[in-house]
Amino acid sequence: MKDNKSTETVKELFFDEVATINRHVLVVEPTEAFLEWAKKYPDEDPSLTLDELIEDSAAYLIPEQKADAGVWLRRNFRKIFEMELEGWCTDRSVWPSDRSYKAFKKYFRVLFCSAVIDLSKEALERVYI
């Protein structure tokens, strides 16, 4: 029996067919400090690794930044911090009490990407969580 996936024709993308979008990307990767916090919960797998957490990092589309993206992050880090914590544990009483910008930077490594290239032909769709 042939694997259908192996016989699919893959269309090559040409540069003039690729679009960029009017957003930048903020990738938020957990650090060792986040891993230590996450492992405190009884239901958590004690063998959880930082690499496993990083593999499931979040990427946020943010407005295009004309200046330093760090300025945008300083103004908006609280919401991202809370979304990341909420994604791990919905009980706010066990969240770190210090949720300052300094604490955010301790728990997460942040990468900015200014070139956001859309390789899909499908229309962008908003799904609210």
| Encoded amino acid at 84, one letter | E
Where do the domains of the chain lie?
Answer: 18-118
Claim: this prediction has a pTM higher than 0.85: no
User: Hunting for tokens 């797998």 — which residue is that?
Assistant: 45
In this prediction, residue 12 carries a pLDDT of 64
pLDDT tens column, 12-26: 656 566 788 889 999
In this prediction, residue 122 carries a pLDDT of 86
In this prediction, residue 30 carries a pLDDT of 97
Give the span between the Cα atoms of 58 and 76, in whole angstroms. 15
Give the span between the Cα atoms of 103 and 105, in whole angstroms. 5
Give the span between the Cα atoms of 107 and 65, in whole angstroms. 24
In this prediction, residue 45 carries a pLDDT of 76
pLDDT, block means (10 residues), the chain with 129 residues: 53 67 93 93 79 94 87 96 93 95 98 88 84
| Encoded amino acid at 46, one letter | P
